Amino acid sequence: MIDTPRKPLTTYKGVVDSKSGDKTIRVVMGYLYKHKKYGKILKRKTMAHVHDEKNQASVGDVVTICKCRPFSKTKFWRLLEVVEKNSDPGKA
């Protein structure tokens, strides 16, 4: 069998919004876009339920995630790494 190199993962960065249950976090990914008609720059956000196998992320952390196989009805992302830990957990 010929070994073909795997396609590199498309990764996204976001902030952990909540930690709901065991091995699950919710990550918010914000982005800007320009309104088609009026040209105004608008803020939007996408929320993703992410599988955190080792429960290493907490609220307010900046994390890197990627798409994967479905773990449940809404959870088809997995945590790759915690980029930056939240320095003040009380303000998150």
pLDDT confidence bin for 7, thresholds 50/70/90 = confident
The pLDDT of residue 61: 95
**Bridge-partner residues for 62, per DSSP?**
15, 84
pLDDT in tens, 34-92: 999 999 999 999 999 999 999 999 999 999 999 999 999 999 999 999 999 987 766 55
Q: What SS3 state is found at 62? A: strand
Compute CA 28 distance to the chain's CA centroid, rounded to the nearest angstrom: 6
49's CB contacts (< 8 A; 6+ apart) are 24, 25, 26, 72, 74, 75, 77
Domains of the chain: 11-87 (2.40.50.140)
pLDDT tens digits, one per residue of 44-54: 999 999 999 99
Q: Which residues contact 11 (CB under 8 A, 6 or more apart)?
A: 64, 65, 66, 80
Give the whole-angstrom CA distance, residue 17 versus residue 27. Answer: 5
* pLDDT score, position 1: 63
pLDDT at 92: 55
